[in-house]
């Protein structure tokens, strides 16, 4: 089963790694791929930047919110609640 995850934070990473580890074809979506991949600092919780995490999780694809939604037979909303409506609209 193909899974699309909308959100690249702690929840998106945790769910993505767990699903990919169970053999699911997984894609994580973000608003702006370049900006997300260019970040070099830890997040507010001390987690490494997404680009470092995705390198360690090579089986997981990364794309825009819309690409992740189109990829998934099942879509997981892993965005912060206050941003969910906007992210889901961008997902199509």
Model pLDDT for residues 10-19, shown as the tens digit of each residue: 999 999 999 9
What global pTM score does this model have? 0.93
Total count of residues recorded for the chain:
92
Domain ranges in the chain are 2-91
CB 20 within 8 A of CB 2: no
**What is the fold, at CATH topology level, of the domain defined by 2-91?**
Rossmann fold (3.40.50)
Q: How does pLDDT run across 19-39, given as a tens digit for each residue?
A: 999 999 999 999 999 999 999
Q: How far are the Cα atoms of 23, 31, 36, 68, 91 from residue 88, in angstroms, in the given order?
A: 25, 10, 18, 11, 5
């Amino acid at each position: 089963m193909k899974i699309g995850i909308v959100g690249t934070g702690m929840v998106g990473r945790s769910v993505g790694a767990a699903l990919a580890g169970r053999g699911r074809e997984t894609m994580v979506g973000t608003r702006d791929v370049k900006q997300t991949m260019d970040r070099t600092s830890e997040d507010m919780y001390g987690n490494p930047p997404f680009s470092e995490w995705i390198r360690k999780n090579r089986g997981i694809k990364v794309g825009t919110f819309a690409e992740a939604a189109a990829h998934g037979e099942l879509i997981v909303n892993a965005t912060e609640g206050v941003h969910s409506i906007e992210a889901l609209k961008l997902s199509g």
